[in-house]
Amino acid sequence: MDEKTLERKLVQAVKNMGGLCLKFVSPGFDGVPDRIVLLPRKRMAFVEIKTTGLKMRPIQVRRKRQLESFGFSVYCLDRPEQIGVILNEILST
């Protein structure tokens, strides 16, 4: 599945849960995840979205590790069936 379609599905799923799925853009700071997911009960995580089968670039992997070192959850989404799993995991943390 292409990235744009997968991104729309994620945004809609988060909206259906009463949350926000904000586009994350940080000029001058490469490799940040595509979306910040904000869910009820103060739940938050970052999500990098990839076309099915593609992997994160090295700068994205480094940024993921950096964010995780601060205690944030960072997910790589490349298949639609992962959406529910990721959102449930965010809610359960």
Question: Mind listing the pLDDT tens digit for each residue in 6-34?
Answer: 999 999 999 999 999 999 999 999 999 99
What's the number of domains the chain is made of?
1
Residue 80: give the domain boundaries: 3-92
Token pair for 64: 């993921």
pLDDT per position as a tens digit, 38-59: 999 999 999 999 999 999 999 9
CATH code for the domain of 78? 3.40.1350.10
Q: Is 78 exposed, middle or buried (0-12, 13-18, 19+ CB in 10 A)?
A: middle
Q: How far apart are CA 60 and CA 89, in angstroms?
A: 21
Give the model's pLDDT for residue 36. 98
35 touches 50 (CB < 8 A): no
Q: How confident is the model at residue 93 (pLDDT cuts 50, 70, 90)?
A: confident
Give the pLDDT of residue 28: 94
